Structure 1
Amino acid sequence: MTAIKHALQRDIFTPNDERLLSIVNVCKAGKKKKNCFLCATVTTERPVQVKVVKVKKSDKGDFYKRQMAWELRDLTEVDAKDANKENPEFDLHFEKVYRWVASSTAEKNSFISCIWKLNQRYLRKKVEFVNVSPQLLEELPKAEESVPSGESQSVAGGDEDALDDYQELNAREEQDIESMMEVCEYAISNAEAFAEKLSRELQVLDGANIQSIMASEKQVNILMQLLDRALGEVDNIEGKLLSYEEMLQSVKEQMDQISQSNRLIQISNTNNGKLLDEIQFLVNYMDLSKGHIKALQEGDLSSPKGIEACINASEALSQCMNVTLKPGHEKLMAVKLQQHLFSELRDAFARRLTNHLNNVFVHQGHDQSSTLSQHTAELTLPKHSPLHRDLLRYAKLMEWLKNTQREKYEGLSRTYVDYMTRLYEREIKDFFEVAKIKMAGTSKDGKGKFATLPRKESALKQETESLHGSSGKLTGSTSSLNKLAVSSSNSRRSQSSSLLDMGNMSASDLDVADRTRFDKIFEQVLSELEPLCLAEQDFISKFFKLQQNPTLAQVSIRYSMDQICVCIVFDMVRMMMNKIFQSIETELNSLIALGDKIDSFNSLYMLVKMSHHVWTAENVDPASYLSTTLGNVLVTVKRNFDKCISGQIRQMEEVKISKKSKVGILPFVTGFEEFAKLAEAIFRNAERRGDLDKAYIKLMRAVFNNVEKVANESQKTPRDVVMMENFHHIFSTLSSLKISCLEAERKEAKQKYTEHLQSYVINSLGQPLEKLNHFFEGVEARVAQGVHEEEVSYQLAFNKQELRKVIKEYPGKEVKKGLDNLYKKVDKHLCEEENLLQVVWHSMQDEFIRQYKHFEGLINRCYPGSGITMEFTILDMLEYFSSIAQSH
């Protein structure tokens, strides 16, 4: 290490006017070991700069180079990792933390000690040394081997020792030395002579000092005498102080007695003040005014002023009873008596309030029942806003009852629910009875409006009561409303709507009127139920103080026997609503079943209306009773809608076609067109459009499959005609309706129509020129077997003579006659309503021309130079087709 220090001093630090004081061989912690040296240096010029320099060998390893340097003043912390155990690791905290591992613990300690010395000597801002042994910071580092004497500067440990002996001269000392050296001109040239002169002057000064001390002995003796005299005075003062202390001792005892007396008086006053505060507290918070007591005992619960007085009195009583007493208050007899008085007032007022509210329920019920008769003839439900308005005056008292007498509060809740259940059940039953009669259309007045049948007609009543079952389904096949609906008009079609009979426009017109009336009645029913339920739920929440947000899951806890019942507040509202309106869902299901039985297409109207009302209710309150109930009923409506679609598909599959008449446009194809028009009108801007789109796809698949099924089974009409006409009609229908979800089916229908049109044309054209077609089919077969086209004429069955013979059989006159017969046959196959005759005839003309050109091409290739041509030309054919079409 000495040789390394010598080399570093010579090659790196001496050229930079620096002295190397300490060195340590290190590598970075946690990385691949690449050794380098950390050097502590000071500059030889003033002001002195202290640095930590990182030095490493060059890549070739033949010399050292200076890599990085840090000012010691930038060092904030030195962490030696462990002050008790030997550990070569240490950290230096500059602008960032540098972690090092020394080659030995001794080198690390020597380097840290040198840093500490330099910090103490040259820096005002002291570096923090962590996990460093105190002994290491107190002792000087051990001297290391010295650099050879040839160097002008020592870099060994002796320099570190010199740091302790060196003391910088101040300005005055420097000035004195300079003055002294100016007096002696040889001070610089002859240092020994100058030193001897200074030694002689020092001896002279020492002698003068000794003489001066000996001359001052007299003054010292005088000073000692003065000190003896001062000691005597001090003894006198101490004696007087002792006498004064004895006199003050008696005064102290008297003052102690006075202080003790004052302390007792202060304690008494404090206790009296606290007692007064306790009395004032009890008087202020546990005293109920006479006016409040009178209101609780005799207050008028039927007048607004009396109710207001009772509310104020009950709130004051609750404050008195709920006051938080301090420890010990409950043992006071006055407090016990007052609490007993409060309990009696509470119980008496709770009984009086409960009895009064029960009477209010009964009284309001009688008033409400008297108004029911005026609503029976109309499709409206009675409004309960007057009842709610009168009862809401007691809402704060109900809240007080809920907080103080839970059992009475719950009893009142049950009473209200039982009463309202009977009232609403009667109203809703009558309301739905009127709705069912209007739907069935059993009676009309002179103006065409539906009138309510008298209640004395027991037969009708018995018939409508059959619709009120617990399951909500129509009971039996003898349903009177069903019979009435069927018998109300001779022109009305059967109750089970079908795509097969929607093509009958006279019946369809009547159905539209019936369905429109049904839609209005169903909408009116839902529109009447919605505000009724919302108003009742709002009243229950306000009157019974159940307005908490259900998402907060706040609970009220009730103790009954030894069980704890945790009730979510919002569930209480729903439970009360379910009890009060328990008949709504049953009646709605019954009404839906009736509408579905009258006309299965009514399920479309019901699905749209019910979906809209469910959506509206969920926007208002997604967890309300109305939203839940309508959602449950919507499931039934959707099930009926799906059943309606399935029934239409089943009826398509059961279609039977007459074997003696041509097929034409199938009834379920035209029925789908009418159904789609009806559905589009109903589902315009509807929330459940997706359900209709799914139904469209199912129905269209069924239409496609059953068209093909009927075409395969048809005996009178060719399969291609059935497919062509019906798919043309389907394509036209879908193109006009522009139903986006059926775009793929529209393209498929066009493709099938085009394919079967082409197939029918090709198959039909083979009949007028049957022999000619067979001849050229044989020619093509020979060519396909490998016979060259120019060699076909050498085949015995297909020589020129045979060709001329076949061509002669089809002169222009015969061709026209055959085409005329073909036109008549096509006319018999096609139906009039689709009007495809001219389209087919024009396609046959194009195909015939194509075949003619094909035959001519075969003659030219297979019979070159024969001069054989057809007996008629293309112009002749165009004239034939045109004249035939005009003649018919």
Structure 2
Amino acid sequence: MTAIKHALQRDIFTPNDERLLSIVNVCKAGKKKKNCFLCATVTTERPVQVKVVKVKKSDKGDFYKRQLTWELRDLTEVDAKDASKENPEFDLHFEKVYRWVASSTAEKNSFISCIWKLNQRYLRKKLEFVNVSSQLLEESVPSGESQSVAGGDEDVLDEYQELSTREEQDIESMMETCEYAISNAEAFAEKLFKELQVLDGNYMDLSKGHIRALQEGDLTSPKGIEACINASEALLQCMNVALRPGHEKLMAVTQQQLLFAELRDTFARRLTNHLNNVFVHQGHDQSSTLSQHTADLTLPKHSPLHRDLLRYAKLMEWLKNTHREKYEGLSRTYVDYMSRLYEREIKEFFEVAKIKMAGTSKDPKGKFGLHGSSGKLTGSTSSLNKLTVQGSNSRRSQSSSLLDMGNMSASDLDVADRTKFDKIFEQVLSELEPLCLAEQDFISKFFKLQQHLTVPEMEELDGSMLSKRPPQAEHRHSLKDMVRLMMNKIFHSIETELNSLIALGDKIDSFHSLYMLVKMSHHVWTAENVDPASYLSTTLGNVLVTVKRNFDKCISNQIRQMEEFKIPKKSKVGILPFVTGFEEFAELAETIFRNAERRGDLDKAYVKLIRAVFMNVEKVANESQKTPRDVVMMENFHHIFSTLSRLKISCLDAERREAKHKYTDHLQSYVINSLGQPLEKLNHFFEGVEARVAQGVREEEVSYQLAFNKQELRKVIKEYPGKEVKKGLDNLYKKVDKHLCEEESLLQVVWHSMQDEFIRQYKHFEDLIGRCYPGSGITMEFTIQDMLEYFSSIAQSH
């Protein structure tokens, strides 16, 4: 066993700065015998860590390897199974129970005794020893192990040093307070040992390795950083030892404290200087690939920088606890440097986005233009400056509107342009979101902002971020407040750049505000779900206000242009541009807002727009000089009704029904008024007959009225033989054809309605003749069948 112990110490534990104190050969209880070793170890560096390690032979059996490691502090119970009889079985209770069978009871007892002593010395926690003989726990471990557990070669004895005058006086003073100092030297020595144990290596003794790491440890390699972390934690533990009254006057204590303070200041300076250099050098490396990223409209990822810096997170926490001014100085340096780096990256990123976005407004001749503007787009890149904004040559008008949508949106080029714009805007937001979230996560971890900070502390980092508050209003702010302050400074350019990009998109085409409202709303919703108080959520929320304002302005402009619309005098009206424009707007909006969070904004806009459309259709109809008012109303409300029926916009159901009602009313009015012209005299005669009856003349006595006798009736009917009626209807068809527009295709609908109305009037005339001129034998010169043939042949001939 000694040879095995020596081999394990040499091959496994010495390379890890551990000392093997006890070993037991075991196998798992109840399973096929497969031996391994349980080892009790301690670390050689302070603070001491005690572990239980499971070691087994490799599959080939040519060397040993570490398989499992448990911290002794995680052990809750040791069960020896039987305190009175020899039994090689025992259990160790960690996160679960491990059942073992030792190769001998002696090995088992020696291992358990070592565990007990290690617990007593290093942990002093309540560890249950069940079914273990009390004698076993009181016995000393064998000489070899006792030496290790008790200290032995762990502690290097200092060379003899003569007491100073001050120390001699302190000892004499202490002896005077103890009456038994001379009579019972053993008791006095015990008292001295207990009171001076604070000077033991486990309290105020820093190993030479730790001192070396603090003074000259490598802060560039992972192993060196880990050594510095362990050394800094050990130093902090030594400096925070609670001293008993009077101990602080001992020279040894004072000297150690001075040493610790010097080590702390030295390491703080080294760490601060190194991290400052890391900030600078990492930033230069990061900028080297900037042009490649911007060309692809992507932002550089800072994960390599974050990964490298996070290795120092524990050291930043140490600096925060020991040198707050240096920690805050590093925080300001990081924020100032990163704000310049991000500003450069973000500015170039947005310049490329603007160039790509501006490219979506090229006209068929390849000329770049933005409506409603002239001059040049501002920007740092020469390529963007060369893009002249040519409002007069643009294929669009001042801004996209319901007036020009009819000619503009039907173009495949326009659809492609808007799709491209949508992708560019989404790409911009999709790049910004992970960038901000990654930086925020890094700041939280690297600067260890779990602790609350007061308002003055945050104002010291960036006084411009918080307004001064009266003393009584000061309160403690959380991690999120501090992170948000740093993020505001680092990404101060994002909100400005986003608003500039949004203004450009709106200038190119005001309908882009629909895309931007949907995209921005979705990203705000996503950011709020992650953290409603985060920098990203707040910034995108602010920008969303601008986008919503542009959307409202777009709707207001459509309404204003409807109100300002004037038709040329003596020209056929047809379907008004803002009616077809509303149709195209609705088609576009329904596509964009499908499943969008801001559907309510669109519904409100729909109601405003449709009411304006209704009002201005009536205004134009009243002002029309060439096209009859009924035709303007009939055709345009028929188009509106068809649009709303096809798109099924639920918030406009009432307007859809109203449009249908207006269409049918004006169709009927136009048909009746038009049919009065080919049979004008006949219509007037029977209107006179109905008027006499209405005045009280009996129907059978109407024929005795001079103006409405049988002779006059025959004369009027004779003026409308079948040939003349057909001629009149043919002229009516041509007139209706001139009134109606081709795009709405209502000519046949109107002609069929006229046929129905003519038949109704014919029957009405026949009924009046039968009631007012009974037995006269007077009939019309043409029949209903003749009339149907007239209508059919006229329609087919045209």
Short-chain TM bin: 0.5 to 0.7
| 1:577, distance to aligned residue in structure 2 (A) | 0.5
Deviation per residue, 1:735-784 (Å, 9 max, x gap):
22222222222222111111110010011111111122222222222322
| 1:732, distance to aligned residue in structure 2 (A) | 1.6
Q: Distance in 2 between matches of 1:182 and 1:98?
A: 55
Helix, strand or coil: the match of 1:538?
helix
Contact 1:2 1:146 survives alignment (8 Å): no
TM-score computed with the length of structure 2 as normaliser: 0.67
Contact 1:440 1:481 survives alignment (8 Å): no
Deviation per residue, 1:359-379 (Å, 9 max, x gap):
111121222222323334331
Helix, strand or coil: the match of 1:687?
coil
Q: Distance in 2 between matches of 1:203 and 1:351?
A: 32
Helix, strand or coil: the match of 1:709?
helix
Contact 2:78 2:92 survives alignment (8 Å): yes
Distance 1:178 1:114, change over 3 A: farther
| 1:509, distance to aligned residue in structure 2 (A) | 2.3
Deviation per residue, 1:646-676 (Å, 9 max, x gap):
1111111111111122111111112222222
Distance 1:383 1:556, change over 3 A: farther
Deviation per residue, 1:812-857 (Å, 9 max, x gap):
2222222111111111101111111111011011111111112222
Unaligned regions of 5+ residues in structure 1, if any?
138-143, 208-283, 451-465, 561-568
Contact 1:54 1:66 survives alignment (8 Å): yes
Distance 1:324 1:664, change over 3 A: same
Deviates more, 1:421-430 or 1:178-187: 178-187
Q: Distance in 1 between matches of 2:155 and 2:88?
A: 25
Distance 1:874 1:26, change over 3 A: farther
Distance 1:336 1:716, change over 3 A: same
Distance 1:851 1:579, change over 3 A: same
Q: Distance in 1 between matches of 2:259 and 2:190?
A: 117
The number of residues matched between the two structures is 779
Deviation per residue, 1:525-550 (Å, 9 max, x gap):
1121111111111111110112579x
Aligned residue number for residue 308 of structure 2: 390
| 1:514, distance to aligned residue in structure 2 (A) | 1.9
Q: Distance in 1 between matches of 2:234 and 2:350?
A: 49
Q: Distance in 2 between matches of 1:298 and 1:191?
A: 45
| 1:877, distance to aligned residue in structure 2 (A) | 1.3
Structural mapping, 1:489-500, within 5 Å: 492-494=395-397, 496-500=399-403
Contact 1:473 1:590 survives alignment (8 Å): no
Q: Distance in 1 between matches of 2:172 and 2:223?
A: 113
Deviation per residue, 1:267-316 (Å, 9 max, x gap):
xxxxxxxxxxxxxxxxx433333322222222221221221111112212
Contact 2:167 2:251 survives alignment (8 Å): no
Deviates more, 1:114-123 or 1:609-618: 114-123
Contact 2:635 2:663 survives alignment (8 Å): yes
Helix, strand or coil: the match of 1:486?
strand
Q: Distance in 2 between matches of 1:311 and 1:47?
A: 12
Helix, strand or coil: the match of 2:697?
coil
Deviates more, 1:609-618 or 1:159-168: 159-168
Q: Distance in 1 between matches of 2:295 and 2:195?
A: 145
Contact 1:38 1:53 survives alignment (8 Å): yes
TM-score computed with the length of structure 1 as normaliser: 0.61
Helix, strand or coil: the match of 2:301?
coil
Q: Distance in 2 between matches of 1:675 and 1:18?
A: 76
Contact 1:467 1:475 survives alignment (8 Å): no
Aligned residue number for residue 161 of structure 2: 167
Q: Distance in 2 between matches of 1:322 and 1:185?
A: 33
| 1:425, distance to aligned residue in structure 2 (A) | 0.5
Residue identity over aligned pairs, in percent, reads 92
Distance 1:14 1:598, change over 3 A: closer
Helix, strand or coil: the match of 2:196?
helix
| 1:727, distance to aligned residue in structure 2 (A) | 1.1
Contact 1:380 1:431 survives alignment (8 Å): yes
Distance 1:782 1:556, change over 3 A: closer
Deviates more, 1:323-332 or 1:816-825: 323-332
Contact 1:442 1:485 survives alignment (8 Å): no
Deviation per residue, 1:387-409 (Å, 9 max, x gap):
11110000001111112222211
2:775 to 858, 865, 869: 865
Contact 2:25 2:107 survives alignment (8 Å): yes
1:178 to 153, 172, 180: 172
Deviation per residue, 1:429-485 (Å, 9 max, x gap):
1111111112222999999999xxxxxxxxxxxxxxx99999999889999969937
Q: Distance in 2 between matches of 1:419 and 1:832?
A: 67
Q: Distance in 2 between matches of 1:47 and 1:372?
A: 46
Helix, strand or coil: the match of 1:705?
helix
Based on CA coordinates, which of the two structures has the bigger radius of gyration? 1
Distance 1:330 1:19, change over 3 A: closer
Distance 1:312 1:87, change over 3 A: closer
Contact 1:50 1:72 survives alignment (8 Å): yes
Structural mapping, 1:166-315, within 5 Å: 284-315=202-233
Contact 2:520 2:544 survives alignment (8 Å): yes
Runs of 4+ in 1 over 6 A off after TM superposition: 1-137, 144-207, 442-450, 466-483, 488-491, 554-560
| 1:587, distance to aligned residue in structure 2 (A) | 0.6
Q: Distance in 2 between matches of 1:65 and 1:294?
A: 30
Q: Distance in 2 between matches of 1:479 and 1:699?
A: 42
Deviation per residue, 1:159-198 (Å, 9 max, x gap):
9999999999999999999999999999999999999999
Distance 1:698 1:686, change over 3 A: same
Q: Distance in 1 between matches of 2:477 and 2:195?
A: 112
Deviation per residue, 1:10-60 (Å, 9 max, x gap):
999999999999999999999999999999999999999999999999999
Q: Distance in 2 between matches of 1:64 and 1:288?
A: 33
Aligned residue number for residue 629 of structure 1: 539
Helix, strand or coil: the match of 1:504?
helix
| 1:411, distance to aligned residue in structure 2 (A) | 0.9
Contact 1:811 1:871 survives alignment (8 Å): yes
| 1:724, distance to aligned residue in structure 2 (A) | 0.6
Contact 1:467 1:473 survives alignment (8 Å): no
